[in-house]
Amino acid sequence: MRTELEIIRNTAQSLNDSENDYDKLLQDIGDCSIVLIGEASHGTHEFYQERVRITQRLIREKGFTAVALEADWPDTYRVNQYVSILREELSAETALADFKRFPTWMWRNREMENFVDWLHRWNQGLSLEQRIGVYGLDLYSLHTSIEAVIQYLDKLDPKAAANARKRYSCFEHFNQDMQEYGLRTAYGLSQSCEDEVVQQLVELRQNAWEYINRNGRLSEDEFFNAEMNARLAKNAEHYYRCMFKGHVLSWNLRDTHMSEILDALLNHLKRFEREPKVVVWAHNSHLGDARATYMAGIGEINIGQLTREKYREAVYSIGFSTHTGMVTATSEWEMPASNKRVRPSVSGSWENLFHQASLSAFILNLRNPELRQALNFTLLERAIGVIYRPETEKQSHYFKADLPNQFDSIIHIDTTQAVEPIERNPEWIEGELPETYPFTV
């Protein structure tokens, strides 16, 4: 009987940076209309690069209509204005300028800049209905979303704008410190703003018909943007109010919000006479099915699970892994980004098993019956977010996962490099040198 390593080597498709690398993957995706593309860190060049390559082919060859990011809705809106509305006064770099919140390098990086520029060029010459849009799913930008709602109403309905200002003023005495808001409301030290944000969303929706019928399709898009920001304000208020009641609750609220926004986006795109097809970019921990990981045991859900439960066979998910290399990350929240060395993967992990296959880069179709049977066990899986702590790596960055039930395909790149921030601070430039420096092998 062949070992799992032999089966991995036999079924793996090597990636050679060629045009046909993902031919088989696109066949496997078939008619799926939601493709979830993960990443094992928020700071790895190759994860961004390969997501771009796959997404470009999905747009060119399968008619995908939107890209949804693990990013805040209002921060992503300027990107959408550049690539979809074709605002020529912007550039790819300035389109990313609204990503000001830590970690800025997650979306303000050279790989993303090149992709945004490609999308802008792709949309030129297409009708407004045919253009690819870029949207954010996350919920951290409460105050930016409030500003967007008020700005929208200022143009259309000054009285409604005044009402919105009055409602949202509930947050003013917290000086935009939402952690203080969460702490004080959680312990009954301050009144929550829940009623205000709910009332604002309800009123906006009640006036939808009047607002949308001002200027056709563009007006409908503008209303949808305002509605998503009002929804974000409502959900973000709930998130911050609950963040001191436990990690599981706050995690579930965040991923439920991202799932809601994805649902709303799909419904919005259905109005334009073509089947909506969306690529979602987020971390593996959000897009891999939570039911196949330790998350299920502690009561956590994620957007990967929620999307698969709702859309079933229409969903295809792709994960990433790496053995070692470099990553853009920090040691503590809000610290400057640095170019950090990724320790070789630990024994007993999926990354280490793939490293033993002795292939530099490959993709596995985890739906393959022989492979699924061979990999029918649980191993550790590494997750690096914006913080990387190699000194406590096993405790901080590994969790148990049943990989064939977590993803439909996995892409392993054995040695990876750090994503390049647009603003390279001294800590990043002077980061650790890889052990193979000055060589890349």
Question: Could you give the C-alpha distances from 38 to 55, 166, 170, 234, in angstroms and in order?
Answer: 12, 40, 37, 27
Predicted pLDDT at 125: 85
- How far is Cα 119 from Cα 87, in angstroms, rounded to an integer? 13
Question: Kind and range of the H or E element at 188?
Answer: none
Question: With contact defined as beta carbons under 8 Å apart, do 115 and 78 qualify?
Answer: no
For every one of its 441 residues, what pLDDT tens digit does the chain have, with 9 covering 90 and above?
568 999 999 999 999 999 999 999 999 999 999 999 999 999 999 999 999 999 999 999 999 999 999 999 999 999 999 999 888 778 999 999 999 999 999 999 999 999 999 999 999 989 888 899 999 999 999 999 999 999 999 999 999 999 999 999 999 888 888 888 888 888 888 889 999 999 999 999 999 998 988 765 568 889 999 999 999 999 999 999 998 888 899 999 999 999 999 999 999 998 876 789 999 999 999 999 999 999 999 999 999 999 999 999 999 999 999 999 999 999 999 999 999 999 999 999 999 999 999 999 999 999 999 999 999 999 999 999 999 999 999 999 999 999 999 999 999 999 999 999 999 888 787 766 554 433 333
Q: pTM of the predicted model, to two decimals?
A: 0.94
Query: Is the distance from CB of 135 to CB of 265 less than 8 angstroms?
Result: yes
Say if strands 315-329 and 34-37 run parallel, antiparallel, or are unpaired: parallel
- Partners of residue 328 on adjacent β-strands: 339
| Helix or strand holding residue 69 (H, E) | strand 66-72
Cα–Cα distance, 165 to 20 (Å, whole number): 54
